[in-house]
Amino acid sequence: MMMPNPTKPQMKPLIRKSHTYDQKASSDLGSAHQEFQVPTNLVQHLWFRSRESLADDGLVYDPIAAQACKRCQLAPECLTGELDQQQLLYATLTQLCDSQVQQFLSHNPDAWIINVGAGLDTRFYRLDNGRCHWVELDVTENLVWRQRLFHKNERYRLECGSVDDLTWLDELNIPEQASVMVVCEHALLDCNEQQTANFIQSLSRYFTHAHACLVLAGDKSSSALGQKLGSGKYAHGLSSPIDSVLNWLPWAQWVKAFSPLDQQCNRWKFWQRLLCKISQVKKRLTPQLVLVKW
């Protein structure tokens, strides 16, 4: 896709932070002489994956993210809140999503993966099988940042679009019989319940058969307990994501949900692991990965 010729981003020398916690951040960002001032909402997840890649017990190995972080300035907002918990929750959801996409590609090696709200996601570099068709979809500004930070690859393409306007679907020219998975890891967390329902229903009307891999927020995510688990402030909250999706898509073949608290990771605290025993609670306190087939 032809992108507008962007203006050169503002650059300035790397500033070393004196706070003891930020020693880890400094090592993550490396010793680059110049850095991009990437928007916080984009760079934080990139930084989380970079930190995971450098940790002995990391859940995600992402050297592309680690390399890109050396060229980015870490905004002060990235260093506030329950950082370790935010990173653990994010990394767990990322690992869950990676697993589902990889499994889908193992059965459908020539499939189309449409990554909606791609941001600075690097899943393509981690999972590309050399045969799939990969589309990174986002607003123009975010796509420009992708072009600046990541090397080009003929295995994927960039498309401008959002969850609110699905006219971009017609521009993809996907063969009618192709296997399709739509991945929406973060974009729907900024959408209210009605917008989320409209997006999923629109996809089901466009694709006769497809899979969707979505991250949807529990309705107690913004509670004090949810925040202690690393959850953020989301635009929607669902008491039962499976029931909600089935209400929106009654013709779905099946809907499955995966809670990050179900993942066996020693970094979850003891009291957090106890929540796994209370299935209804754990579904509501954090976002979940929801897999849909219709």
Q: Which residue has the tokens 């974009």?
A: 187
User: How high is the pLDDT of residue 276?
Assistant: 74
Q: Are strands 34-36 and 11-13 parallel, antiparallel or unpaired?
A: antiparallel
Residues 199 and 163: beta-carbon distance below 8 Å: yes
Residues of the chain with pLDDT under 50: 1-33
Residues 209 and 108: beta-carbon distance below 8 Å: no
User: How high is the pLDDT of residue 16?
Assistant: 35
Length of the chain: 294
Going by C-beta distance under 8 Å and a sequence separation of 6 or more, which residues neighbour residue 182? 114, 116, 203, 207, 210, 211, 212, 213, 214
Task: Note the pTM of the prediction, 2 decimals.
Answer: 0.84
User: How high is the pLDDT of residue 9?
Assistant: 37
Residues 100 and 289: beta-carbon distance below 8 Å: yes
The amino acid that residue 47 corresponds to is W
Domain 84-293 grouped into CATH 3.40.50.150: yes
- Report DSSP letters for 15-51, one per residue: ----STTHHHHHHHHTT-SEEE---HHHHHHHHHHHH
User: How high is the pLDDT of residue 89?
Assistant: 96
User: How high is the pLDDT of residue 285?
Assistant: 94
In whole angstroms, what is the distance from residue 126 CA to residue 19 CA? 33
The domain limits of the chain are 18-81, 84-293
